[in-house]
Structure 1
């Protein structure tokens, strides 16, 4: 199963669950939301064809949707959101329910937001900061598992808080001095807080409407659409929220009158229906399925089909992870040998070619923006440098090569096979260890069972170096037992101090430059072998307009799409 399915339609399983993935470069598109004539786009029914079954529902506390997700962004507004424009500017965080992206104080440990006036739910009730506080608090409940871990880590008292349903319902580090003001008190500096405030956990939830586990079937909408019918695993139909107003929401065009989402379709069926574009399928897009290789190849000879392809990227890196606590990868010369011997061309070809993947020599991909600093400390060329690798192995005490086991998700055999063939040229024998997809994360991210060498992927929860580098290289994020993503188990107090310093920077550009510097610094240690980043290519029906791929998730911005 590729990253494109894992980051599915509206749950968007996200970056912190191990083998996630996605991309490089700038997105191309037919238009941007800012340039589109919103006055003439209203009407019609947009069809969405998805593989996701969405059988867990649509509770904002349980969703993990970077940048607001696809479908959730239609139902839920948050304090901030991503800028609804194509290209690199789409990485920018902008106000949503709030009047600005947040006022920071005390070295970015206190963040204050004020709500816009006139905000209402689909039931006509006003949205208050108490609702936002309650929505966040319920995401801490063990009954509603699935949300990202940042709030639990960042908020004072968050690590011990159990949600609003127990004997201590209040999280004091979130204050609401009035109905329009909310203040967050953090235990450490976090300059990226405005990006976190775009996650669905910041969607308001009226306490009187909370039905606990059952809320996922009929959540109260604060966005431009509300749920008309929802048959989990089959179909979801959205209609307009009549209380939503464009005067308070500049980021969602909300053009179609109705959005009809078909669930549980196969990727082959989705690709065939979008390519044929017959009947209602002319009004269709997908939010979780890339075009297949055959259709992509056919498009080169069919201009009409090619014109309906849109490309874009979500920041991710697929890489080889070394457990530096285990031999032979406690030896940097061995790690460097693996870096020199890799054949990135073979890996890109295994993904379907350069249209679908781009080789990487850095941990941070180009699609992350200013945090990308190009470097190649162990130049392997296009197909590897086995001679250099053999030299380093000999220096490390392995003149006759070595044999190691490579753990990989059994859904990704093509990458493992490409690596096995490349490393054989350098005298490295890879014994392949396929692990079932359902168990792969739990095995690899458990410090007691983590293998010496594994194939892994990482994607950013928002376009910044912070969620890309911190979980992978901050020693304080090493989790004994399960849920550890610092697979190198790298622990350097000086690096941790650098991370803390960068987190105090609230100027986005300056912060990203600093993250890029840190990536380039850590890269010299060969703690990973970056392999490639995936490129997203998606198809839409002939009657769909204003399609572009956003730079937070690598999918169509459904809130801007319209039908002719």
Structure 2
């Protein structure tokens, strides 16, 4: 997952983001079989108002501009796509399933062409039918400069996509998206893409009726294809109100439960305020949740002494890795033994503690997250134990020509977060000191930090970084970081090691041809292990997400795809 600006958006994160700050793995009721919040007792029923309390506004509420895999959380209540994520707990939630389409797509022999058929009886909120022409138009409008911000895959993958300027400048559209009839759509790709069904979960695949398109103003009242319609959008998503779409037919939608009658999203709130309101859970807040605000160590300590609160904490993991990155064109990081020495010197216990403790971070020795869907294959090429191996590190430094140690600079963010901020940087500094490595910390404000670490050949020699996947598979995790053909020399470069290994590039291409996702996962795992031998990065930890729900919230589902509570499953009655 990339981060804000040219970077963003892949974090999914966390807003999905990344993912932005919204991402993570695992879930379900807090018992021996699952890891999420149990929620209120009793069978879920329709009715009531679900309130979502968030820090970040649900801005740019236009399917072309959203960067949300699987439609995100709130967006997926309004926008349906050709495929979507399986709305179940844990690993089952990493599967891609049909949404508007009858299946997850039918590839040709080499996966360069994908065909989808729409289900019968699909309608917009105004009762008009949804057609494949609307899906095609929705994708094509996302190419318009004024609607930028969404995922880049169609521009990169579709034949002619790299030159297309969007439906407003070129209403003829893309010849690589063909709609032979109202229910059939065919995509023609530049190269094999076995993971295309995952990409079809992106909101760019939501249908948009051309007659209702108002360009940049479409976000004010986008036409719903999902169970809810937008009735109010204030201050660019700061206050969003959704009510039932009377023309949504649950018979065509096996994934969204749509229990509440109304959903109100209030954003721009301080994280401490959100957690306090959810803790108290009084009045309307008893039916509230958050999709982007985590609990911190102090709050978890408080909750740990209150069993009733503990039952309302959901645990999730998103496909994310926090790591130390090297630029091997900068000395002394061009020396593999120096990189290996640093790998041995890392004290993952202190790093995990800096990240909030074992409840909020899990130590990592692999680049791929510890999830089967990614192809996770256990390895530890530079076993340092829980607290590092400074003796081994010193021995390697001597072999590298630094018998008296060396001095290096570590670049990090000044943001007070537990992933790339000062606390984690200091933990790394102290660990390397034990191995005779003096580390000078270079703290940069977040925007400058992001620009510098993704600067390509101008990036620092040694810096803290992180990466999250747009969907739960090895492709969006390994290819942007290690495919030499994706190197950008003057900004927005994610291949921090500037690795351009023909064998690695070829293997990425071969895996992309596979439409058997299980077979692909095995090969992604093997590739991760092979690349790891070069010590091009030092995996530190995978974040864990802890979030409260209100005491009236039922049917808590947290998948390994998003790592956060799925609002399409929640009931408050």
With normalisation by structure 1, the TM-score equals 0.95
The aligned residue for residue 262 of structure 2 is 258
1:124-146 CA distances to partner (integer Å, 9 max, x unpaired)? 11111111111111111111111
Distance in 1 (alpha carbons) for counterparts of 2:533 and 2:97: 35
1:481-529 CA distances to partner (integer Å, 9 max, x unpaired)? 1111000000011111111111111111111011001101111111100
Correspondence 1:70 to 2:73: yes
Correspondence 1:196 to 2:173: no
The aligned residue for residue 132 of structure 2 is 129
* Structure 1 residue 80 displacement after superposition: 0.2
Does the 8 A contact of 2:344 with 2:382 survive in 1? Answer: yes
RMSD: 2.2
Distance in 2 (alpha carbons) for counterparts of 1:84 and 1:350: 33
Deviating more after overlay: 368-377 vs 237-246: 368-377
The aligned residue for residue 359 of structure 2 is 355
The aligned residue for residue 559 of structure 2 is 550
Q: Unaligned regions of 5+ residues in structure 2, if any? A: 416-420
The aligned residue for residue 418 of structure 2 is none
* Structure 1 residue 478 displacement after superposition: 0.4
Match for 1:79 among 82, 96, 103? 82
The aligned residue for residue 413 of structure 2 is 409
Does the 8 A contact of 1:38 with 1:253 survive in 2? Answer: no
The aligned residue for residue 226 of structure 2 is 223
Does the 8 A contact of 2:96 with 2:198 survive in 1? Answer: yes
Any runs of at least 4 consecutive aligned residues in structure 1 with deviations exceeding 6 A, and if so which? 36-39
* Structure 1 residue 293 displacement after superposition: 2.1
Match for 1:493 among 502, 523, 532? 502
Distance in 2 (alpha carbons) for counterparts of 1:29 and 1:519: 32
* Mapping of residues 355-374 of structure 1, within 5 Å: 355-367=359-371, 369=373, 371-374=375-378
Does the 8 A contact of 1:9 with 1:287 survive in 2? Answer: no
Flag the 1:344–1:22 CA change in 2: closer, same or farther, 3 A: farther
* Structure 1 residue 29 displacement after superposition: 2.9
* Structure 1 residue 38 displacement after superposition: 12
Correspondence 1:117 to 2:117: no
The aligned residue for residue 52 of structure 2 is 48
Does the 8 A contact of 1:502 with 1:515 survive in 2? Answer: yes
The aligned residue for residue 293 of structure 2 is 289
SS at 1:171's partner residue?
Answer: coil
Match for 1:449 among 453, 458, 461? 458
The aligned residue for residue 523 of structure 1 is 532
Correspondence 1:28 to 2:22: no
The aligned residue for residue 388 of structure 1 is 392
* Structure 1 residue 548 displacement after superposition: 2.1
Flag the 1:168–1:542 CA change in 2: closer, same or farther, 3 A: closer
Distance in 2 (alpha carbons) for counterparts of 1:114 and 1:534: 38
Does the 8 A contact of 2:41 with 2:554 survive in 1? Answer: no
Deviating more after overlay: 39-48 vs 462-471: 39-48
Flag the 1:541–1:22 CA change in 2: closer, same or farther, 3 A: closer
Distance in 1 (alpha carbons) for counterparts of 2:524 and 2:413: 29
Distance in 2 (alpha carbons) for counterparts of 1:475 and 1:314: 26
Flag the 1:366–1:506 CA change in 2: closer, same or farther, 3 A: same
* Structure 1 residue 291 displacement after superposition: 1.9
Q: Unaligned regions of 5+ residues in structure 1, if any? A: none
The aligned residue for residue 437 of structure 1 is 446
Distance in 2 (alpha carbons) for counterparts of 1:222 and 1:9: 24
SS at 2:211's partner residue?
Answer: helix
Distance in 2 (alpha carbons) for counterparts of 1:222 and 1:404: 54
Distance in 2 (alpha carbons) for counterparts of 1:169 and 1:399: 67
SS at 1:541's partner residue?
Answer: coil
Distance in 1 (alpha carbons) for counterparts of 2:43 and 2:252: 16
Correspondence 1:97 to 2:106: no
The aligned residue for residue 170 of structure 1 is 173
The aligned residue for residue 346 of structure 1 is 350
Distance in 2 (alpha carbons) for counterparts of 1:361 and 1:313: 16
Q: How many residues align?
A: 555
